[in-house]
A and B are shown apart, each in its own frame.
Chain A
Amino acid sequence: MRYKILPIVFIAILVFSCKKKKAGEPDAPQTLHHGILVLNEGLFQQNNASMGWFSFSDNSYTGNFFEQKTNRSLGDTGNDMKKYGGKIYVIVNVSSTIEVLDASTGNSITQISMVANGTPKQPRYVAFYGPKAFITCYDGYVDVLDTLSLNITNRIPVGANPEGLAISNGKLFVANSGGLNSPNVDSTVSVIDLGNLQEITRITVGKNPGSVQTDLNGDVYVISRGDYASVPSRMHRIDAITNTLVQSFPFDASGISPFNSNFLISYHDFSSGSNQIALFDPNTETIIDPQYIPTSGIQTLYGVQYSDMTNRIYCLDAKNYTVTGQVHVFSPNGVFETSYNVGLNPASILIYE
């Protein structure tokens, strides 16, 4: 009969199987200074987009910064984060929301639901001009947000699935990716008059336009991402006065980041897994140094940002997209200094003194 004890043993294993307690996170600071606010994109349908706070004071990382500030989660796929006029605007793509936070404390001011006629607009990126924020929405519009009332005041129709946007010469330049029509993607940039909020024209650049950036001269630079196969990812220059494409560059590029008067041109090759960060001079339109920053320690280059406040270059590393990412810090001369562990797929950072 000794065998009769077996069921009891196994029931006990079932009931008392060991549990791991979730580790506590450091407290989020009351006011934000001397650190980095990180927007981590998370993964699609996992509701794990997050905002984290890395403190320079004690090198601690608070991964649930947003939860501590709001008692709720950020949502699904945090796509863009910018600071403007005392507020932080966080664009959450799949949840289709814009989170507006107080820039000095990180406390929530409001959450804006981005749904039109029952369909999520899927916001992507934000840019600012005067009292207005312009938000590209994947449903083919640029939404205009009044930064004082925090209401959507206009919807400007553009091309299919707009992505990056930038402002120059009183005009808004919007990359129409058409990504959801793949393989028949879009190839144009919409030009919008910021006076009457009407589309003036569309400029053909190359397949699948994504990032948009301006230089100090007002020129607009656009990256067309191609088809990730035979059509390569390229950078193009648009004259913001004549609204014309004036130059296409022959080198690989997937991101453009302002670096004083220059650009840092980043590129991640999905086939080989290699990374590259070049220094580009928009005055001479030439690459100064094709390997300005050593990338041997970076697995998947997911973004580059320069802070004139700290005079440092920050490279965002998504690793294999399913594990904790990192922020690698480089001196302005491109010398590696340190790395910080952050969240899943770091997409954007804000530096605080």
Chain B
Amino acid sequence: MFLKLYIPTLLIITSCPVFGQEVKPIEEVVISPVNEKENSIRIDLSKDKIQNKLANDLGQILSLLPGLQVKNYGDVGGLKTVSFRSLGAAHTALVQDYSLVSTTQSGQADLSSFPVDFIEKLELITLSPTRTEIPIHAKLAGVVVNVESVHSYVGTNQRNLILGAQAGSFDQYEGYLMLQKRSKKWAGTLTGKIRSYGGAYPYTYLNGNTTIKDRRENNSLQEYFGTASVQFSPSQNHRFQLRISGNDYKKDLAGAVIFYNSNAAQYLNGYGLNGTINHQFKKNRWNVFSSLNYQKNNLQYLDSTYLNTLGYLDSRYYSRQFDLQSQAAYSITEKWGILIGSSLISEELKGKLLVGNPYRNTSESVLGIEWKAIGKILAQVGLQGVFEKRDTVLNSQWNILPAVSWSFDLGSRNKIGMVYRYTCRQPSFNELYYQQIGNTKLKSEKAHIASVRYDLTLPFKRGILQTMIQPFYAYVYDKILAIPTKNLFIWSIQNIGISDAAGVEFTELIQKKMKQHTLGMRINYTFQYTQDISDPKSPTYRHILSYAPLHSGSVELDYTWKKLSFFILTSYLGERYALNQNIPANLLEDYLLLDAGASYTQKLNQSELTLRLTVNNITNKQYNYINYFVMPGTHFNIRLQYAL
């Protein structure tokens, strides 16, 4: 009740009249794989582009990047996981403000739990051997999604206060606040967000030849986020940061639409706490970054229609992660740089439905090299030791994880880079220990990933055209898959699969400025052919893996004139199969979505007022990414933000 009153009130009190001011130009999107100032292979997305989308979460934004497939199980609050070049979500490391996000239980981060309101920087990093602030565990993963917010203190934010409110279709209400104070040596930031969502959106689906109209039920959400951080710089060489954050949520789980049975009554409640302290030392040729992070997550899954003797299922899980690490980078010469680092991660999970109380200790060391000779060579080798008790026996495992890239310029406009890495991901605690499903005999899932990247930059009169083409190949073996091993309802996790993926990622950016007008276009396209090559005798041998579309992409047009800016975004997801067997019965339709938005920014002395409006799914396309997880049709969002 409090939330329902508070959020509209917040919206009303911030809706004061606005007055004319100059327009803020569109921030350039930079694609910089071999930029001399950079020591990583990455793609990034600008802050304004993120904010203008009024995205519900990080998952919605990441779906705009090439090579990433975001599996979307619902709208606001619906589970979203990201897969890079068909590697599977567990190969992607999510880093938020220099800390690795814990995935102790499921092995994958739920991107729906990451709001984007205070993001300053978003990068997709495939290799970063000499960057000290990227955690070592993330460096050794298949790909890194690196998110830096206002709490990182390195972005462009110069505001002391940001206050905003948002209202949207289907009873979506949000309010957020940022307070930041900076002095010569000290800086402090407080951010918070609350959101609620009714989620009762209408949808239609095809049942045989019959079109059924219905409304989503059991789909509401209440969520709270808060972070406080302090930065202290006693001298130019030292910087200390302390950050504490927490979130609390109550979600209804609508689940898949089941024909003739709309009685879903599952819920997910939980909270998380995250505390980090880090120190950075920079002097002359040294850059040393050390951090200590502690995370705790409590989760409750409730099914009030579960047909056991109790009449309900109440599963609770308690996970903790402790992460200590230090990395030191040294520039030997202008052409040579080196990094060494070590980390210790300790994870544990408790829950009634788990066999035992699993824990895992991981010790990782990395040696990174940067050599600017014939072009630039980046290389790293990681040594990973995993220690855990399985079936009362202490199990240890050592992995050597190499990665290398070579990039060089072909003239001033053309750049070429090549990357190879070997990576592995450990089975999650659910995969190992979840009652009858878990399998303590599991090995790690391994992958070889290689790509070649070509970049072209063509400046023209008052504009720029940038092109990135990146063919890739990924080979994954000992894939961790769930298959029925007891009966159809009791599946178990096995290392049985082999798959490979070949494809190409393409990004095109065009930007042109004409007096007060700025025009921009960004195109992302990914083609990937991901096939099952596990067993030549299997009927699915060389079939395309489930939920691996051949084609996906987006086209975005931006236009800015004085105080106004507009965007139109079309995103496409190609046909895909719901199961690995490529037969018509398993084929899911492709879809093309059309979104649009506008924003108006008014400066008032030192302050700034911004009004943003988006219309999503303008054509009211009835679609789903995952079979029968229906998505909303046309819906609106309006946001008013005051910044001082």
| A interface residue numbers (CB < 8 A to B) | 3-4, 6-7, 10-11, 13-15, 17, 19-20, 22-23, 41, 43-48, 63-64, 66-67, 70-73, 75-76, 92, 94-97, 111, 113, 115, 118-120, 122, 138-140, 160-161, 178-183, 225, 228, 270-271, 318-324, 344-345
Q: Are A138 and B490 in contact (CB-based, < 8 A)?
A: no
- Cα distance A15–B538 when bound, in Å? 33
Q: Are B261 and A17 in contact (CB-based, < 8 A)?
A: no
CB pairs A–B below 8 angstroms (5 shown): A10-B525, A45-B255, A70-B208, A138-B307, A324-B539
- Cα distance A49–B265 when bound, in Å? 23
Q: What A residues does B484 contact at CB under 8 A? A: 270, 321
Q: Are B208 and A67 in contact (CB-based, < 8 A)?
A: yes
With contacts A11-B523, A17-B574, A43-B579 taken as known, whether A182 is within 8 angstroms of B261 at the C-beta atoms is no
Q: Are A95 and B259 in contact (CB-based, < 8 A)?
A: yes
User: In angstroms, how far is the closest chain A Cβ from the Cβ of B354?
Assistant: 13
Q: Are A14 and B553 in contact (CB-based, < 8 A)?
A: yes
The B558-596 residues at the A interface (CB cut-off 8 A) are 572, 574-575, 578-581, 583-585, 587, 590, 592
With contacts A20-B575, A70-B208, A119-B263 taken as known, whether A45 is within 8 angstroms of B307 at the C-beta atoms is no
Q: What B residues does A228 contact at CB under 8 A? A: 436, 486-487, 490
User: In angstroms, how far is the closest chain A Cβ from the Cβ of B617?
Assistant: 17
| B interface residue numbers (CB < 8 A to A) | 207-210, 255-261, 263, 305-309, 435-436, 456, 458, 465, 467, 483-490, 506, 508, 510, 521, 523, 525, 527, 538-540, 550-551, 553, 555, 572, 574-575, 578-581, 583-585, 587, 590, 592, 627-628
User: In angstroms, how far is the closest chain A Cβ from the Cβ of B254?
Assistant: 12
Task: Tell me which of B207, B435, B555, B575 has the highest count of chain A C-beta atoms within 10 A of its own C-beta.
Answer: B207
Q: Are A14 and B256 in contact (CB-based, < 8 A)?
A: no
Q: Are A71 and B486 in contact (CB-based, < 8 A)?
A: no
Q: Are B539 and A72 in contact (CB-based, < 8 A)?
A: no
Q: What B residues does A318 contact at CB under 8 A? A: 488
- Cα distance A179–B307 when bound, in Å? 9
- Cα distance A177–B467 when bound, in Å? 61
With contacts A10-B523, A14-B555, A324-B539 taken as known, whether A94 is within 8 angstroms of B261 at the C-beta atoms is yes
- Which residue of chain B has its CB nearest to the CB of A1? B460
User: In angstroms, how far is the closest chain B Cβ from the Cβ of A164?
Assistant: 13
- Cα distance A347–B222 when bound, in Å? 42
User: In angstroms, how far is the closest chain B Cβ from the Cβ of A14?
Assistant: 5
Q: Are A4 and B465 in contact (CB-based, < 8 A)?
A: yes
Q: Select one of A94, A161, A179 contacting B258, CB under 8 A.
A: A94
Q: What B residues does A344 contact at CB under 8 A? A: 585
Q: What A residues does B260 contact at CB under 8 A? A: 75, 92, 95-97, 111, 113
- Cα distance A70–B540 when bound, in Å? 31
Q: Are A73 and B510 in contact (CB-based, < 8 A)?
A: no
Per DSSP, are chain A's interface residues mostly helix, strand or loop, or mixed?
A: loop
Q: Are B435 and A270 in contact (CB-based, < 8 A)?
A: no
User: In angstroms, how far is the closest chain B Cβ from the Cβ of A12?
Assistant: 11
With contacts A72-B209, A95-B259, A270-B486 taken as known, whether A46 is within 8 angstroms of B627 at the C-beta atoms is yes
Q: What A residues does B628 contact at CB under 8 A? A: 45-47
Q: Are A270 and B551 in contact (CB-based, < 8 A)?
A: no
With contacts A47-B628, A270-B486 taken as known, whether A71 is within 8 angstroms of B583 at the C-beta atoms is no
With contacts A45-B258, A94-B258, A180-B306 taken as known, whether A120 is within 8 angstroms of B263 at the C-beta atoms is yes
Task: Tell me which of A70, A75, A113, A322 has the highest count of chain B C-beta atoms within 10 A of its own C-beta.
Answer: A322
Q: Are A76 and B490 in contact (CB-based, < 8 A)?
A: no
Q: Select one of B210, B436, B553 contacting A71, CB under 8 A.
A: B210
- Which residue of chain B has its CB nearest to the CB of A345? B488
- Cα distance A183–B495 when bound, in Å? 25
- Cα distance A270–B484 when bound, in Å? 8
A-B pairs with beta carbons under 8 A, tally: 164
Q: Are A7 and B521 in contact (CB-based, < 8 A)?
A: yes
With contacts A320-B538, A322-B579 taken as known, whether A7 is within 8 angstroms of B523 at the C-beta atoms is yes
Q: What A residues does B523 contact at CB under 8 A? A: 7, 10-11
- Cα distance A271–B580 when bound, in Å? 23
Task: Tell me which of B263, B580, B583, B585 has the highest count of chain A C-beta atoms within 10 A of its own C-beta.
Answer: B585
Task: Tell me which of B467, B525, B550 has the highest count of chain A C-beta atoms within 10 A of its own C-beta.
Answer: B525
Q: What B residues does A23 contact at CB under 8 A? A: 584
Q: Are B555 and A11 in contact (CB-based, < 8 A)?
A: yes
Q: What B residues does A7 contact at CB under 8 A? A: 508, 510, 521, 523, 555
Task: Tell me which of A71, A95, A225, A321 has the highest count of chain B C-beta atoms within 10 A of its own C-beta.
Answer: A321
- Cα distance A323–B484 when bound, in Å? 13
Q: Are A115 and B506 in contact (CB-based, < 8 A)?
A: no
- Cα distance A138–B207 when bound, in Å? 25
Taking A75-B260, A113-B260, A160-B307 as given, write out 9 further A-B residue pairs in contact, using a Cβ cutoff of 8 Å, ordered by the A residue number.
Answer: A3-B456, A6-B467, A10-B523, A17-B572, A46-B628, A63-B585, A94-B261, A183-B435, A270-B484
Q: Select one of B208, B575, B584 contacting A73, CB under 8 A.
A: B208
- Cα distance A199–B309 when bound, in Å? 18
Q: What A residues does B306 contact at CB under 8 A? A: 180
Q: Are B261 and A76 in contact (CB-based, < 8 A)?
A: yes
- Cα distance A76–B467 when bound, in Å? 47
Q: Are B209 and A140 in contact (CB-based, < 8 A)?
A: no
- Cα distance A118–B265 when bound, in Å? 10
- Which residue of chain A has its CB nearest to the CB of B508? A7
Q: Are A41 and B488 in contact (CB-based, < 8 A)?
A: yes
Q: What B residues does A319 contact at CB under 8 A? A: 539
Q: What A residues does B540 contact at CB under 8 A? A: 322-323
Q: Select one of B435, B488, B506 contacting A182, CB under 8 A.
A: B435
Q: What B residues does A181 contact at CB under 8 A? A: 308-309
Q: Are B508 and A6 in contact (CB-based, < 8 A)?
A: yes
Q: Are A76 and B583 in contact (CB-based, < 8 A)?
A: no
- Which residue of chain B has its CB nearest to the CB of A161? B307
- Which residue of chain A has its CB nearest to the CB of B506? A10
Q: What A residues does B584 contact at CB under 8 A? A: 20, 22-23
Q: Are B508 and A10 in contact (CB-based, < 8 A)?
A: yes
Q: What A residues does B256 contact at CB under 8 A? A: 45-47
Q: What A residues does B555 contact at CB under 8 A? A: 7, 11, 14
Q: Are B486 and A160 in contact (CB-based, < 8 A)?
A: no
Q: What B residues does A183 contact at CB under 8 A? A: 435
User: In angstroms, how far is the closest chain A Cβ from the Cβ of B403?
Assistant: 29
Q: What B residues does A119 contact at CB under 8 A? A: 263, 305, 307
- Cα distance A178–B423 when bound, in Å? 43
The 4 closest A-B pairs by CB, nearest first: A72-B208, A228-B486, A22-B584, A67-B208
- Cα distance A71–B207 when bound, in Å? 8
Q: What B residues does A48 contact at CB under 8 A? A: 585
With contacts A46-B627, A72-B210, A271-B485 taken as known, whether A323 is within 8 angstroms of B581 at the C-beta atoms is yes
- Cα distance A22–B575 when bound, in Å? 12
Q: Select one of B207, B261, B263, B587 contacting A72, CB under 8 A.
A: B207
- Cα distance A13–B550 when bound, in Å? 11
User: In angstroms, how far is the closest chain A Cβ from the Cβ of B255?
Assistant: 7
- Which residue of chain A has its CB nearest to the CB of B539? A323
- Cα distance A95–B587 when bound, in Å? 22
With contacts A7-B510, A161-B307 taken as known, whether A71 is within 8 angstroms of B259 at the C-beta atoms is no
Task: Tell me which of A92, A179, A323 has the highest count of chain B C-beta atoms within 10 A of its own C-beta.
Answer: A323
- Cα distance A52–B606 when bound, in Å? 71
- Cα distance A182–B465 when bound, in Å? 61
Q: What A residues does B574 contact at CB under 8 A? A: 17
Q: Select one of B308, B467, B506, B590 contacting A17, CB under 8 A.
A: B590
- Cα distance A4–B466 when bound, in Å? 10
With contacts A6-B508, A44-B489, A47-B259 taken as known, whether A19 is within 8 angstroms of B575 at the C-beta atoms is yes
Q: What A residues does B486 contact at CB under 8 A? A: 228, 270
Q: Are A67 and B209 in contact (CB-based, < 8 A)?
A: yes
Q: Are B580 and A75 in contact (CB-based, < 8 A)?
A: no
User: In angstroms, how far is the closest chain A Cβ from the Cβ of B530?
Assistant: 16
